[in-house]
Every structure is written in structure tokens, then in C-alpha cells.
Amino acid sequence: MIHLLLDALPEHIEADGRRYSVLTDFRDWVQFADMLADRALTPEERAVAALMWVSGPPEHVTAALVTALLGFYRADGLRQDPEETEEDDDEQPERPPVFDWRVDAAYIVGDFRRFYGIDLLEVGYLHWWKFRALFEALPEDSGCMKRIGYRSCDLSKIRNKAERQRIAAIQRQIRLPWEREEEAFGDALWDSMMV
């Protein structure tokens, strides 16, 4: 894990004993998310497409390279909870997504302008991990966090019927298609790879 206040933000990933330079601007990684979500591409085609984010990629895509790219995308090095393991993730039931970079883009642009004074449509460069840190630090009353809150709300825990119905109506209105699973992409890759 890096110390965000003291360490330089990464510009490379490591996989298979090699260091690879990667694109680092936030726009590049939003496009990476779009590529992951593109159901017109097979898992193998996504793996090959993922090499576009790597400078001097190897001839073959490996599981380690895909894992490193996904880790950079998730900004794993910023995580404060290093004890969380993949096993813990496996025990969690699969749930619909609560945020989408494309669908929620207007709220991202608005929130960055409102809370940070950053115009994402005109900023020259913003490192993906800095973008992610700012995104995760958005306050609860931001448009993005409100949408995440409503989408992740467990209706079964709301006792008041009127409130449950109100939140259910909001959830229906802002529901995301349930098709953006990067883990499913990774799992499909592991199953299909020969390397």
C-alpha cells in the first residue's frame, strides 16, 4: 500500500517478474472500465484489448498480467484494509452494481466541480489513483454517494413501509444493468487461457 501523502503514484505494474509501464490518466481507466463492460467482446478479446493499457506488453496475456491490470484499475495500492482477502470476497453473495462510470458520469463531473473545483471535462491530466482517492472521499451528500447509498440500501432492513416503498421507487429509477463484473471477466479469462 502506498502512502498517498508521501509516495509517488505508480506508473507501472509488475507481473511475471517484469515491470510494465501503464497509462495513468483517469480517462484511460474509465475507458478500461468501458472495455470490461463491453459484452460484444469475449473474455479473450478483452484480455488482448487490455494490453492497450500496457507499454511494451508481452506477446501473450498471462493471468498475472490481467490480475495486475485489474489491481491498478481498482487502485488496490490505496486500500486501507490489506487484510481483506479474495476468500472473503468469495463468501459474499453476488450483488448488483451500485455505480457505473458511464451511467453516472454527469454526477461525477458535477461532484468534482462542486466539491473540488475540478472541471473533469477540461483538466489536462489527473492520475487515476488520485481520481479514485478524490472519488472515494466525496461526501455523503454528493450526487455519486447518494446514488451509491440508494442502490446499496437493503430494503429488508427498513421497517417503515412508506420509507421502504420510497427507497424501492428510487432504486427502480436509478437501477443499473447487472452486467459489469470485472471478476467474472477475470474468472472467464483464467478458464480460457492456455498460458
Dump pLDDT digits (tens) for 126-182. 999 999 999 999 999 999 999 999 999 999 999 999 999 999 999 999 988 765 445
The model's pLDDT over 71-90, given as tens digits with 9 standing for 90+, comes to: 999 999 987 664 444 445 55
- E strands, the chain, are 12-15, 18-22, 54-55
Q: Is 110 exposed, middle or buried (0-12, 13-18, 19+ CB in 10 A)?
A: middle
Confirm whether pTM is higher than 0.85: no
Question: How many alpha carbons lie under 13 Å from residue 162 in its C-beta half-sphere?
Answer: 0
Distance CA 192, CA 105 (A): 33
Residue 40, CA atoms < 13 Å, CB-side half-sphere: 3
Q: Give Cβ neighbours of residue 136 (< 8 Å, ≥ 6 apart).
A: 78
Note the maximum CA span of the chain: 58
> For residues 151 and 99, is the Cβ–Cβ distance under 8 A?
yes
Q: How confident is the model at residue 186 (pLDDT cuts 50, 70, 90)?
A: low
